[in-house]
A and B are shown apart, each in its own frame.
Chain A
Amino acid sequence: MTVNRSTFVGDSRRLVAEAAITALLRRPRYQVVRRQPQSRVAILRVESYSQKLGELLHHSLEPFRLDVRGKTVLLKPNLVDYIPGNHINTHPLLVSAAIECFRRLGAAAIVVGEGPGHQRDTELVLSESGMSDQLRQQKARFVDLNRDELIETPLRAGYTNLERLWLPRTVLAADFVVSMPKVKTHHWSGVTLSMKNMFGVVPGAKYGWPKNILHWKGIERSILDVCATVPVHFIIADAIVAMEGNGPLNGTPRSLHRIILSDDPVAADATCTRLMGLDPAKIAHIRAAAQFLGNFSIERIDQLGEPVRAPVSPFQLLPEFEYLRETNFNLIFGC
């Protein structure tokens, strides 16, 4: 049998990933359990980004019966950088639609907050991505989480051994946190979805650009610690145009024509992964988060919109992540 470099790298990566999953599962280190008996996910079919998203979103949120009246809602989009032609950020029109919806639902205050991890100039990302215009139109407040006032916060899980993180006051003061990821592949963690999106609440002013300590402590472990500490109450994932290949910055746009809504970050990420044609059980942080942050198995997820269907062709991946593909769809979709 001949083994080429690509196969060798793929197999090595698979072994390392399996070891990581085993380590995370064997040594649960969480102090909080947020998993509900049953989670809800809605997959919406949307042809393109348009001004009509607000109405669609509002209508689609009804079954979730979100009670945000009088609450401060933090919308946390994924703003990484601005690269012309690359769909790397949550689309401004979707953020605008979310602002509109939560206002209609009676939120007392809506704050859009993000701390880009790669680009120091948050204002540059906001203006060049078109987000500033939408925020201005909506008269919405934006907080640069990289430079907010910080509060030392004990972590509610101990996967990184960091014990504490300095976190933005705006995040800690929010009553209702909405993670709004762009659905993308990721060259370190396989995928970047609603849980990985929460890296953006870790402030660059303290931890630098990029937030390198989270990489050194293990991306999967850091995701678990951050998400255990900052509860995500709702997810609006942008997969109208997603990204495949060498994400999160240099991948290729991939039109999925979907928005994923959920009241559970694990269920949302597992569903997004399935929509990408990947197996969520092979993604360490999703698998480990299913122990305490949400539901991962199909049986525990109520599908409110259209059913989960794998794409005709799964998302392109870097060779190191080829093992995330699962050819046995029965296993992934439980059908």
Chain B
Amino acid sequence: MQSAQLLGLACVQALVERQMPEGGWPFTSPAKQMGIEPTALALLALPSSLVRRRCAAIESLLHAQNPNGSWPAFSGEDQQGSGYTGLAVYALNECGEQTAPTNRAVRWLLGSRGWESHWLWQWKFRLTDRQVRFDPGKFGWPWMPKTVSWVFPTAYSLLALKRARADSRPRPREFRIRRGVEMLYDRICSGGGWNAGNGVVCGSALSPHPDATAVALLALLGEFPNDSVTASLDWLEHRAESLFAPWSLAWTVLALHGFQRPVESLIGRLCAVVNPVEIRDSSTLAVVCLALRCAHGPSAFRAGV
């Protein structure tokens, strides 16, 4: 079995080789469309020593930003904005890029909300459309405009807003953070953990997913500890015992590490199952890099200020 450090280097090397000439990364190699999620995750995963590579990634992200401040899902698509905007802001902020573009993006995030927040849809969900158990008054962010809030985009947006500069519109920022946190707790699965965002449908409890649980937990870093978080961490630890898929395993490492739970054996398993050459999905490769870094240093995901 290779060491975490050696595998980390191999994964970074694989990421570097897949970087497109424009500086971004596609969802899957060797496609030619730059995806925002893989590019933001790769930017977080690149070591600070790779200055030119990081600069190119930052440039490509800034170039892909929509006029309204949001980011699309991938380069060349429509300009309405996507649920990856929070992740792009977070990655840029972590690289010290708290500039006009990220401030514009924060403003867009403050204005973007799941459609369940609209009074008309609140009535619909409270009176007639009640198959999914959720409180429409507790809203987060959607994957795309004119749809309801889901766990991944809400977690990405919370990560971004919590790390955004404190002077960028503190009151609306705090309001949206509180609502987003409430939404995550509202959508939790019975027994802990999250899936895409449907805890109970038609009276049946749905199972949580490791990746969504991990990302939601990372977004809740710094919140007061409570039973929901503890139950979710316990569920994730238990689920991780039989987890071999790199994307879910890597997110699990990041979340458990963030909450000071032991991750050595999980990192060992990552080292056993990951072959960077075989991973076609750039986002997975980047998250594996980030998880392996937990073996010997701080995580890229920290509690908000």
Contact = CB atoms under 8 A, between A and B. Distances in A.
Interface of A: 81, 83, 118-121, 123-124, 127-128, 144, 147-150, 152, 166, 187-188, 205-210, 212-213, 215-216, 246, 249-250, 318
A250 B206 contact: yes
Contacts of A120: 152, 196, 209, 211-212, 247
Contacts of B125: none
A250 B206 CA distance: 8
A207 B206 contact: no
Given A120-B152, A121-B209, A149 B77 contact: no
A206 B83 contact: no
Nearest 8 pairs of A and B residues by beta carbon: A208-B143, A124-B245, A147-B27, A149-B31, A250-B204, A212-B147, A123-B245, A121-B248
17 contacts: A81-B209, A119-B209, A120-B152, A123-B247, A123-B284, A124-B243, A124-B245, A147-B283, A148-B28, A149-B26, A187-B202, A205-B73, A205-B74, A209-B150, A249-B204, A249-B206, A250-B204
Contacts of B144: 206-208, 212-213
A81 B150 CA distance: 17
Contacts of B284: 123
Nearest to A151: B33
Interface in B82-108: 82-83
A213 B196 contact: no
Contact of B77 (A144, A147, A206): A206
B245 A147 contact: no
Given A127-B244, A205-B27, A121 B210 contact: yes
B32 interface: yes
A216 B131 contact: no
B148 interface: yes
B281 interface: yes
Interface in B5-42: 26-28, 31-33, 35, 37
B195 interface: yes
Contacts of B202: 187, 246, 250, 318
Contacts of A246: 201-204
B118 to A, nearest CB: 12
A318 to B, nearest CB: 6
B68 to A, nearest CB: 18
B276 interface: no
Q: Would you call the interface of chain A mostly helix, strand, loop, or mixed?
A: loop
Interface in B132-186: 142-144, 146-148, 150, 152-153
B199 interface: no
Contacts of B207: 81, 83
A212 B152 contact: no
Interface in B251-266: none
Given A81-B207, A83-B207, A119-B209, 19 more contacts: A120-B209, A121-B209, A123-B281, A124-B243, A124-B245, A127-B245, A150-B77, A187-B131, A188-B131, A205-B27, A207-B144, A208-B144, A209-B152, A210-B196, A212-B143, A212-B150, A213-B144, A250-B204, A318-B202
B152 A187 contact: no
Q: Which of A128, A207, A209 counts the most chain B CB atoms within 10 A? A: A209
Contacts of A212: 142-144, 147-148, 150
Given A206-B74, A318-B202, A121 B245 contact: yes
Given A147-B27, A148-B28, A208 B248 contact: no
Q: Which of A149, A207, A208 counts the most chain B CB atoms within 10 A? A: A208
B196 A209 contact: yes
Contacts of A121: 209-211, 245, 247-248
Contacts of A206: 73-74, 77, 82, 144
B146 A207 contact: no
Contacts of A123: 245-247, 281, 284
Contacts of B27: 147-149, 205
Nearest to A206: B73
Contacts of A318: 202
Q: Which of A128, A144, A166, A212 counts the most chain B CB atoms within 10 A? A: A212
